[in-house]
Structure 1
Amino acid sequence: MYGWIWRHLPGNTPIRAVIALLLVLGIVYVLFQYVFPWAEPLLPFGNVTVDEGGTG
């Protein structure tokens, strides 16, 4: 899959590397701004209970 993406990017190797980096940064931005906030209420990680006191 990555080879297919690399072959379809325009330009020579340095330009392809810059474009690939921009694509990765764009994907990370979209994930953190839209996908993760949308999915957070659907995940059970916020339902953590911690008991006060301990064994001892």
Structure 2
Amino acid sequence: MYLWLFRQLPGPLWLKILLSLAILAGVLVVLDQFLFPWLADVTHLTDATVGQN
């Protein structure tokens, strides 16, 4: 899958690498800004219940 995606990018090798890094950075920003906070609210994994009465 990644090879197919890399082949679809236009330009020479240096541009493909640059575009791949930009796409990866964009995906990480979207995950960090939207998906991970939503997931933390939905799953409540940060609720500490050990030692509380």
* Alignment TM-score, normalising by the size of structure 2: 0.84
Q: 1:12: which partner in 2?
A: 12
Instruction: Return structure 1 stretches of 4+ with deviation > 6 angstroms.
Output: none
Alignment gaps of 5+ in structure 1: none
Tell me the matched-pair count.
52
TM-score normalised by structure 1 residue count: 0.80
Q: How does 1:19-38 map to 2 (within 5 A)?
A: 19-38=19-38
Amino acid at match of 1:38: W
Identity %: 33
Higher-Rg member (1/2) = 1
Deviation at 1:14, TM superposition (A): 0.3
Superposition deviation, residue 41 in structure 1: 1.3
The alignment's C-alpha RMSD in Å is 1.5
Structure 2 stretches of 5 or more lacking a match? none
